[in-house]
Structure 1
Amino acid sequence: MSAATDAILSRLTTLHPKVIDLSLDRMIALLADLGDPQRAIPPAIHIAGTNGKGSTQAMIRAGLESAGLRVHAYTSPHLAYFNERIRLAGALIGDAALADTLAEVEAVNAGRPITFFEVTTAAAFLAFSRTPADFTLLEVGLGGRLDATNVIDRPRLCAITPVSIDHTQYLGETLPEIAGEKAGILKRGVPCVVARQDDAARAVIEARAARLGCALSVAGQHWTAARDGDALVFQDERGLLDLPLPVLPGPHQIDNAGTAIACLRELGLGQDQAAAAVTRADWPARMQRLTHGPLAQAAAARGCELWLDGGHNPAGGAAVAATLAAMPRRPTHLVCGMLNTKDVSGYMRALAPVAASLTAVTIPGEAATLPAAATQAAAARAGIPAASAPDVGAAVATLSAAHPGARLLVCGSLYLAGRVLRDNG
């Protein structure tokens, strides 16, 4: 990323006293001054949910692109570089185009209070409006109803991945409250694919869809996706698809694949695109095996595997635990850093059955990081033998020396995962 882009992004973080301030007023005003670029983007597929949004979007994109379609994609947060958030017709936005677009939006905003996510989302809409494509994939940043992406008057399709408890300080304390915020992306008459949900969350989504006349395609009612040996079997009202297993590891990816395939079917695509969705998707830091770079080499020198995952809430922890339980048996030692805004205890409880130990680290450069000592204490309360280390490199070195042949998993935060990907090359 260029120095010019770094400078602009740094300035944009200073425009609002809060990192998160859910509202659409500032976003709508800025977009109006920019000529409402969100109204000129290709047909949008809008994706909300607590977990699985990114993986589901990656699979939808792989399926669409296999049909020769050009696809814009917007995701957040980025891992290593901001460019990852904006994909134009299949390629990450270039440094020069990113700097120019951000500078234009910054000038039009003229110093008015606006959050970093809002102003950069406006830049994404501007870039999308100026590059021809067939579809735009929009991942909600937080919630849905008041998220900066929720300014699309009429998307082509909506999707809601599994809803669970997270971001309670912004979205509400209960599952129905949070589901109501996620369901806020629904628009009158626009179809929506709904992943497998807790009954309370599904009831809220179905009630809003009924009020708006949205046709729902609901997991367990209108379609199913399940593993059958070494195959993924998807079935809906159009028929049955016998597909390869997802290349993204973990039992939870079966559900994400089902949601993606249901979206592709809603768009009229068939078996070839569904197969591409599960076999060609790439989504870093979701149970990703690291095989290159200094960290991976340090682990491999002692016969250890090194894995990386950015899940950060209890549902994410449960997904990681299920993935580890399904892998070949090997002691798993965690290197964990988390933010102080997360349900750390819930995350630790989910992982306790599969963790041989946990080494806590502080996430460098993150103001909201949980100190390593606090993460260590939370792990100990959950029954995980815990220690701390000054950084990930030190933790990997110590663990690989003490436990040759083990599986090492760096986990707890996408921000930590991004730091690892940058440092590991």
Structure 2
Amino acid sequence: MSPSSDAILDRMMALHPKIIDLTLDRMWRLLDILGNPEEKLPPVIHVAGTNGKGSTVAMIRAGLEAAGYRVHVYTSPHLARFHERIRLSGKLISEPALTHVLDECYALNGRDPITYFEITTAAALLAFSRVPADYCLLEVGLGGRLDATNVVNKPEMTVITPVSIDHQQYLGETLGQIAFEKAGILKPGVPCVVGPQPDAALEAIEGRASRLSAPLLAQGQHWHVWEERGRLIFQDEYGLFDLPRPVLPGAHQFDNAGAALMVLRRLGMNDAALEAAVTRAEWPARMQRMTRGPLAEMAPRAELWLDGGHNPAAGEALARVLDDMPKRPTHLICGMLRTKDVRGFMRPLARHAASLTAVEIPGETATLTAIETAEAAAEAGHDAHTAESVADALQAIIAQEPGARVLICGSLYLAGRILRENG
């Protein structure tokens, strides 16, 4: 009996002592053994950035599929099951197909050191190379220049969504340094769509683009997007489009939609594809309303939301979402990793939160304790408490306010666990 994908993934975790070790040397070695699948992909759209990568990919995919194209998609991390990371020609990879490519990569790699993300990215590229499709969307895992996805010599287009401070231990302490790493996905002569950026980040991106003669299509220069009377207005040098508000909630999704629309315009997609990009995109754990499962059943009168944002820019975006929502007592349940800027994430949310209940993230070695998270929350201006679990936190909140709005937030790992346990 062949092993399951979970069993093979567990073995892969032991192939390198570090979870993250940024270099492309191991990828090139394994891809060469695999017959260079990265050279056999359909036209690639490569997406980097700090925030908004996944939402932008989801909108590009929705537009392309509405136009009748078959699309491969690679994203990370997964929330409930690893299969979410690999979408083959429009469908999540099947268990037999996933097991086959993982097993093949594991066997051919042998015991040579390689990180979990590198070998699973190689498996995704191998799967993509064997199934016909019209486009391939690749989301960067971390950074860009040395990310395992950065092995395609000449993508069709690249995209850089907003850059902010995150993962400083790997990418650098300043916006310019971090943007330099993100801009590492740019390729000679390949156009790059650039979302709104702080000046220091845009300067680094423009510097890299100039050296490579890579045309930039930057928001505020080559295209514009804004909200008007509850609708999205997009304009580039060839026209103006009046479209519905993005189905993904939050004012920040207008910028993500603009980048996706610019990509679709550059690819020659029709008006129906542009509308589908903003109306049909699906991206879980991004201000997702929870309406089923044990937590929803526990609090039938509450308004329950889930979001995986975890850095200061995500905190600002969440605060803007709450700004636009009808007024209602709002309580946060928060679990975070110790590698994140916890106070930076929490500070913008303090003006909205009646309370914040801190929890540990089950099964995550890098989780902050509930007490550590609560202490950081108090320093960021919250009325902070602790609980043993999300369920315990929710129970305590609804005991006081049965009809409250409750937002579970702080980590994609926490969000993934909530989705696994609540459908």
Q: What amino acid does structure 1 have at the position aligned with 2:336? A: M
After the TM superposition, which residues 108-147 of structure 1 pair with which residues of structure 2 at under 5 Å, given as runs?
A: 108-147=108-147
Equivalent residue number for residue 331 of structure 1: 329
Secondary structure of 1:79 counterpart: coil
Q: Which runs of 5 or more structure 1 residues have no equivalent in the other structure?
A: none
Structure 1 segment 343-358 matched on structure 2, within 5 A: 343-358=341-356
Q: Name the structure 2 match of 1:295.
A: 295
Q: Which runs of 5+ in 2 are unaligned?
A: none
Question: How many angstroms does 1:129 deviate by?
Answer: 0.2
User: Equivalent residues in 2 for 1:84-163 (5 A)?
Assistant: 84-163=84-163
Q: Which residue of 1 aligns with 2:62?
A: 62
Q: C-alpha offsets along residues 60-99 of structure 1, whole Å, 9 cap, x if unaligned?
A: 0000000000000000000000000000000000011101
Q: Does 1:218 align with 2:218?
A: yes
Other-structure match for 1:241: 241
Q: Which of 294, 311, 314 does residue 312 from structure 2 map onto?
A: 314
Query: Is this contact kept in 1: 2:47–2:139, CA < 8 A?
Result: yes
Distance 1:92 1:293 in 2: 23
Question: Corresponding residue for 2:399?
Answer: 401
Output the amino acid matched with 1:114: I
Tell me the amino acid that sits aligned with residue 58 of structure 1: A
How far is 1:396 from its partner?
Answer: 1.1
Q: What is the aligned partner in structure 1 of residue 82 from structure 2?
A: 82
| Whole-angstrom distance in 1 between the partners of 2:209 and 2:275 | 29
Q: Distance in 1 between matches of 2:3 and 2:50?
A: 33
Q: Which residue of 2 aligns with 1:368?
A: 366
* Structure 1 segments (4+ residues) deviating >6 Å: none
Aligned residue number for residue 380 of structure 2: 382
Q: For residues 246-295 of structure 1, give each alpha carbon's deviation from its aligned partner in whole angstroms, at most 9, with x where no partner exists.
A: 00000000110001001101111132111000000000000000111111
8 Å Cα contact 2:67/2:270 also seen in 1: no
**Paired residues of 2:371 and 2:386 also in contact (CA < 8 A):** yes
The amino acid of 1:318's aligned partner reads E
CA deviation string 1:350-379 (max 9, x = no partner): 211111110001000111111111000000
Aligned amino acid, residue 364 of structure 2: E
Query: How far, CA to CA, are the matches of 1:305 and 1:422 in structure 2?
Result: 19
Deviations 1:133-156 (A, max 9, x none): 000000000000000000000000
- Equivalent residue runs for 1:15-34 within 5 Å: 15-34=15-34
TM-score of the pair, normalised by structure 2 = 0.99
Q: Tell me the distance in 1 between the aligned counterparts of 2:368 and 2:267.
A: 43
Aligned residues: 422
Secondary structure of 2:14's aligned partner = coil
Give the secondary-structure state (helix, strand or coil) at the position aligned to 2:232. Answer: strand
Contact 2:45–2:158 (8 Å) recurs in 1: yes
What corresponds to 1:415 in structure 2? 413
State the alpha-carbon separation in 1 of the partners of residues 270 and 206 from structure 2.
27
CA distance in 2, matches of 1:175, 1:350: 20
1:242 partner amino acid: D
Q: Secondary structure at the match of 1:42?
A: coil
Q: Cα distance, 1:3 vs. partner?
A: 6.3
CA contact (8 A) 2:63 2:275 kept: yes
Which residue does the alignment assign to 1:14? Answer: 14
**How many Å separate the matches in 2 of 1:246 and 1:275?**
9
Q: Which amino acid aligns with 1:320?
A: L
Aligned to 1:47, the other structure's residue is in SS state strand
In structure 1, what is the Cα distance between the partners aligned to 2:3 and 2:241?
48
Between 345-354 and 216-225, the greater mean CA deviation after superposition: 345-354
| Whole-Å separation in 1 of the counterparts to 2:153 and 2:267 | 19
Output the aligned Cα RMSD.
Answer: 0.8
> Which deviates more, 390-399 or 250-259?
390-399
